[in-house]
Structure 1
Amino acid sequence: MNARRPTDVMFSFAGLATRADEHKDGFGIAFFEGRGLRHFVDHHSARVSPLAELVKHYPIQSDVVIAHIRKATQGVVSLENTHPFMRELWGRYWVFAHNGDLKSFQPRLHAAFRPVGQTDSERAFCWLMQELAKAHADMPAIDELNHTLRELLPQLNRHGTFNMLLSNGQALWAHGSTKLHYLLRRPPFGPVTLQDEDLSIDLAAKTTDADRIAIVATEPLTRDEPWCAIEPGQLKVFQGGEALC
């Protein structure tokens, strides 16, 4: 989720958590608050995790949130292999989550960015951070980052399925090699209902006409909103609840 102002994301997280019957190998969620970050991960399913229950009832509001439910393909089910992953670059926290499976991806990584766990996802994140650091001596403008990412992401796509979310708190980057959807919420706001559970909320009671909210998910989370598919291989960039490209 990316929004113009700090927003409650618990309704969307509840929708994501209902899909943890299949994706049962851990969950995580990261909330940016300015330059700070709240980061929660658990290798237990979001369906049964006490931490997931805590997150659902914690009054966190944020303008950038990345959440993930894991279905393991590489690496054991353990805390160190649970998304989203976090690293520091250019004095900012970066958060990354991946859905897919990269075959034979064993890049050469230097000391600054090394995986803690055994997943292809964390290796890909470390490689992206390493290559971004090589390309830019300091934090570049968003347009420059977009250009660099468009050069790097096809190299990961060649190894398999690479659907990812990436953020440093300033913007949200979403890349789908196979399947991702996004939604732009704008006024007038009204009632919405989750796709996988009979749970509704009236957004008008929680928003103002100034709000703009972008949500990205593998599959649409709600059944009565105009979700759009991200074209395979496309990089979408969201800032302030709007799609920059």
Structure 2
Amino acid sequence: MCQLLGMNCNVPTDIQFSFRGFRQRSGITGEHGDGFGIGFFEGRGCRVFLDRQAACQSPVAQLLDHYAIKSLNVIAHIRKATQGEVKLENCHPFQRELWGEYWLFAHNGDLKNLPAGFGQGHYYRAVGDTDSEQAFCHLLERLRQRFTQAPDVAAMFPVVAEWAAELAQHGTFNFMLSNGRWLITHCSSKLSYLIRQAPFHTAHLLDEDVEIDFSTVTTPADRVAVIATEPLTDNEAWTPILPGQLLLFEAGEVRLSHLPEKMPAPTTMQRED
């Protein structure tokens, strides 16, 4: 399956160190070579870089080694195709507009037995042929029907939790979702996070012999949450996210958490028109 990488911060930060290790997993230390993507929020704008080539070989990915884009929220994805051909339109993260904001979504997993027409709603329709993009469109359609304008995050979070638990009944559903102000993660099988804050120390990558002393490139007020399918460093304490758990990160820390007491029984999903 695919792998995910996310970053949420209290000050604009670049993701070069983490992305350097992450992209090794697209063909050097891992087999996720069916395309990649990464999205950076900058104010109300969003830069999304996609390529059907493996991230370890892609000139687009190499560009990001030398382009230190600073962002409060970043989502990256390296793909090992399970559904959908190896095409640009099937690369994550997927981007849409809702309530005058850009939203990004990336998924690691495989959803089976989705109903006919799933992800082809009235306002949001999948362009490619992945279960991931269909799931994203289904969520945005549901949110738009539930709320006529952008709700408080505390009101929206339970709706996302309900949707995530529902879709998890169809298979593996690890995902990341952001509107540039916060980052939501859901663990179905494997996802971990760490929070870097003062006092900062040296971090060493697992996938490449590279390290950085964060005390030399940060201020004492900085706080950065990094979330990944598998830990990226071998000398830091990563916290596993529990299966079924939904977390919302804001300003580099966990602000909301939801863990169902028990997973709901599988249900028949209806198309939302």
TM-score above 0.5, yes or no = yes
Residue of structure 2 in register with 1:68 after alignment: 77
* Correspondent of 1:141 among 136, 146, 152: 152
- Counterpart-to-counterpart distance in 2, 1:82 and 1:41: 6
Residue of structure 1 in register with 2:125 after alignment: 114
Give the TM-score, by structure 1 length: 0.98
Alpha-carbon shift at residue 223 of structure 1 (Å):
0.8
2:211 is the alignment partner of 1:200: yes
- Counterpart-to-counterpart distance in 2, 1:198 and 1:52: 19
Supply the RMSD in Å over aligned alpha carbons: 0.9
Query: Contact conserved, 1:109 with 1:130, CA < 8 A, in 2?
Result: no
- Counterpart-to-counterpart distance in 2, 1:73 and 1:177: 16
Alpha-carbon shift at residue 108 of structure 1 (Å):
5.9
Q: Structure 1 residues 228, 108: closer, same or farther in 2, change over 3 A?
A: closer
Unaligned runs of 5+ residues in structure 1 are: none
Residue of structure 2 in register with 1:9 after alignment: 15
Residue of structure 2 in register with 1:214 after alignment: 225
Residue of structure 1 in register with 2:114 after alignment: 105
> What is the number of residues matched between the two proteins?
245
Alpha-carbon shift at residue 167 of structure 1 (Å):
0.1
- Counterpart-to-counterpart distance in 1, 2:105 and 2:203: 28
Deviations 1:181-220 (A, max 9, x none): 0111111001100011111011011111100100110000
Give the TM-score, by structure 2 length: 0.88
* Correspondent of 2:67 among 48, 55, 58: 58
Bigger CA drift: 29-38 or 142-151?
142-151
Deviations 1:85-104 (A, max 9, x none): 00000000000000000001
Query: Contact conserved, 2:121 with 2:138, CA < 8 A, in 1?
Result: no
- Counterpart-to-counterpart distance in 1, 2:202 and 2:81: 35
For 2:214, the aligned partner's letter is L
Residue of structure 2 in register with 1:29 after alignment: 38
- Counterpart-to-counterpart distance in 2, 1:18 and 1:59: 18
Deviations 1:62-114 (A, max 9, x none): 01000000000000000000000000000000000000000012326323100
Unaligned runs of 5+ residues in structure 2 are: 1-6, 257-273
Query: Contact conserved, 2:119 with 2:135, CA < 8 A, in 1?
Result: no
For 2:53, the aligned partner's letter is H
